[in-house]
Amino acid sequence: MDKFVIRGGNPLLGTIRISGAKNAALPAMAAALLTDEQVILENIPQVRDIETERRLLASMGAEVELGYGRAQHRTTIRCAHLVAPEAAYELVKTMRASTLVLGPLVARCGMARVSLPGGCAIGARPIDLHIKGLEQLGAKISQEHGYVVARADRLRGGHVVFDKITVTGTEDLLMAATLADGETLMENCAREPEVGDLASLLIKMGANIEGAGTSTIRVKGVQRLHGARHRIIPDRIEAGTFIVAAAMTGGDVNVTGCDPEHLAALLNKLQEVGVKVRHNGESVRVMGDGEFKPSDMSTEEYPGFPTDMQAQYMALATQAEGASVITENIFENRFMHAQELVRMGANIKIEGRRATVRGKTQLSAAAVLASDLRASASLVLAALVAQGETIVDRVYHIDRGYEHIEEKLRGVGAEIKRIGEMFPKRLSTPAVLV
C-alpha cells in the first residue's frame, strides 16, 4: 500500500493547474448510459474513481475509451448495446457514486439492479431519496439480496420534493427525468456546480431542462437523447485544497484553471482569517504569511462552505491563534481526521457534530492513517507545516480524487514522495466508501 513521506516547513511558491472535477465527471459518465450514441468528455481527471466508473460502465457492455498522450483527459463512451443493467456490489462498495447509474439505467433499459452501498466511512449515507424520487416517476422498486431493483416500462413525469438536499440524488433523478414521459418538477434540489454541469451536458444531448443550479428544476421528457461533446468543469475541491495548502505554508501560489465563483465560500472564509486572496477569471492567487485569526465555520450545501473542505479547514484552524468551532452539518461521523491531527499535536475536542480547534500549534511529524479522501488531504496539509517527516499511510484514498497530488505539490516546492511497500501483501479492494 502506498504511503506519502512529507517533510514539512517549505512555503509553497509557484503555479498549480487544476484538473477536471471528479464529482462532475462521475455523473457525466453515467449520463452516457442515456443514449446509444457516442459521448465525448474532456477534462476528465485521472483518478481512481474514474477508473472504477469505467469498469462499472464496461461491465454493462459500454465501450469506454480513456484517451492517452495529449488526449489523456478525454474519455469516449458509447453505450450502444447494454448487456446487463447492473451495478455489482464489488464496484459499488468501493465507490458510492456508482448509485448514479440507477436513474439512467431504469430510464434507458426499463430496469436496473444496483447494489446497496452498505457501510460507509463518513457516516450513514442511505439512498432512500433516490429511491423515493424514482417511485414518484413511476418506477417499481424492490430490494432483493442486497440489491435495489427498479423497473418501469417507461418512466413518467412527476413531482419530486427532496426531503433533504442530496447532490447525487438530484443528479440521478435529473438523468432519469430526461427520458420520462411528460414533465417532471423537482424541488429542494442541490445547487452544486456539478449539478449545473451535468444539466449542460444533458441539454447538449437533447434534454429539455430548466432551472439547474437553482433549487427548482423542471424537465420535459424527450423520446431519445443523442451523443454530445462536453468539457467537465474544474475541480473546486482540488483547487480549495491547494489554496489552503498555500495559505498554511505561508506561500505564494497561483492556482490556475479553476472557477473562483465556485470557491466563494472558501475564499471569503480565508479572507476572514487573514489570508490574502486575489482572483480573476480562472485563477486564484493566495499569499499567506502563516498568521491566522480563528474563525468558526459550519458546513452547508452549496453555496455554503463545502463539507468536502471541512477537513482541510480543520488543518488550517490548528495554525490560527485561538479557538475555531467547526460544525459538520452534512455528514455525521466526518471528523476521522481529527484524531490523526491530534496525534500530530493538534488540540481538538469533538462533541457530536462540533469540533473545537485551539491553536496555534506547532504540529510535529507522525505516522498517520488516511481514512477517507478529504481526511487524507487534511493530513497532507498538516504534514506540510509539521516539524519533521510525516508518513501518511493508505494514500489510495487520496488517489480516488486527486490527480497526481504529489507531483503538483512538488512542483511548488513541497518535499513529498510516494513510497510503496517493499513486500506488498495481496490486498483486496479497500471497502471504505467516500
- Amino acid identity for residue 142 in this structure: S
Is position 52 an interface residue for ligand EPU (rule: CB under 6 A)? no
> Is 93 a binder of ligand EPU (CB under 6 A)?
no
CB of 120 to ligand EPU, least distance (A): 9
Residue 352: CB atoms within 10 Å: 9
Q: Is 136 near ligand EPU (CB under 6 A)? A: no
109 among known catalytic residues: no
Q: How far apart are CA 160 and CA 170, in angstroms?
A: 10
Question: What is the DSSP track for 366-420?
Answer: -EEE--SHHHHHHHHHHHHHSBSEEEEE-THHHHTT-TTHHHHHHHTT-EEEEE-
- The correct pick among 10, 75, 98, 166 for binding ligand EPU (CB under 6 A) is 166
Per the structure block, which three cell numbers stand in for 165?
438536499
Q: Which is nearer to ligand EPU, 252 or 300 (CB)?
A: 300
- List the interface residues with ligand EPU, window 330-349 (CB under 6 A): 330-331
Minimum distance from residue 131 beta carbon to ligand EPU (Å) = 7
Does position 232 interact with ligand EPU (CB under 6 A)? The reply is no
d(CA 5, CA 415): 8
Please identify, using beta-carbon distances, which residue of 124 and 419 lies nearer to ligand EPU: 124
Tell me the backbone φ, ψ of residue 310, rounded to 5 degrees. -65, -45
The residue from 79, 102, 129, 137 that contacts ligand EPU (CB under 6 A) is 129
Which residue pairs, CB below 8 angstroms and at least 24 apart, start in 293-296? 293/320, 293/321, 293/322, 294/320, 294/321, 294/322, 294/323, 294/324, 294/357, 294/359, 295/269, 295/320, 295/324, 296/324, 296/325, 296/326, 296/327
The Cα–Cα gap between 360 and 345 comes to: 10
Residue among 23 and 319 whose Cβ is closer to ligand EPU: 23
**Cis status, amide bond into 360, omega within 30 of 0:** yes
Give the nearest distance from C-beta 167 to ligand EPU in angstroms: 4
Binding part of the chain for ligand EPU, among 34-42, 80-88, 123-131, 338-346 by CB under 6 A, reads: 123-131
Q: Which of 79, 109, 120, 258 is catalytic?
A: 120
Q: Of 92, 112, 373, 409, which lies in the binding site for ligand EPU, with binding defined by CB under 6 A?
A: 373
Q: Which is nearer to ligand EPU, 125 or 361 (CB)?
A: 125
What are the catalytic residues?
Answer: 120
Q: What residue ranges bind ligand EPU (CB under 6 A)?
A: 23, 26, 96-97, 124-130, 164, 166-169, 194, 307-308, 330-331, 373-374, 401, 434
